[in-house]
């Protein structure tokens, strides 16, 4: 995780937020293909901070929506999406 993301969210608080939002369906699962480009100052769907250039941004297609994320936020989001996918239903 980059120093910026670690400084903003500390330990695992961002991971916990992503996990909670995924489980409540407030955030779609990041399971599809993404593209990468320079940041365009749009907000990151994960941390809600702008993705400024020269930082790279990931563009992710979801169900009827296109979202953007910092590379580190995207990585965390993908990891939590994969865990959720393999979790048994209760």
pLDDT of amino acid 15: 93
pLDDT of amino acid 88: 59
Each residue's pLDDT, cut to its tens digit, for the chain (90 residues) gives 455 555 555 658 999 999 999 999 999 999 988 999 999 999 999 999 999 999 999 999 998 999 999 999 999 999 999 998 776 555
Cα separation, 34 vs 48, whole angstroms:
18
- Our count of domains for the chain comes to 1
pLDDT of amino acid 12: 86
pLDDT of amino acid 4: 57
Contact residues for 43 (Cβ-Cβ < 8 A; gap 6+): 49, 50, 51, 68
CATH number (domain holding residue 28):
3.30.1740
Residue with tokens 């937020």: 17
What φ, ψ does residue 19 adopt, rounded to 5°? -60, -45
């Amino acid at each position: 995780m980059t120093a910026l993301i670690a400084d903003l969210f500390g330990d695992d608080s961002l991971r916990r937020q992503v996990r909670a939002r995924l489980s409540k369906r407030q955030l779609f699962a990041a399971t599809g293909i993404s593209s990468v480009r320079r940041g365009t100052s749009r907000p990151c769907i994960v941390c809600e901070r702008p993705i400024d250039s020269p930082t790279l941004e990931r563009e992710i297609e979801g169900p009827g929506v296109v979202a953007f994320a910092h590379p580190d936020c995207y990585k965390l989001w993908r990891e939590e999406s994969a865990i959720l996918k393999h979790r048994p239903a209760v």
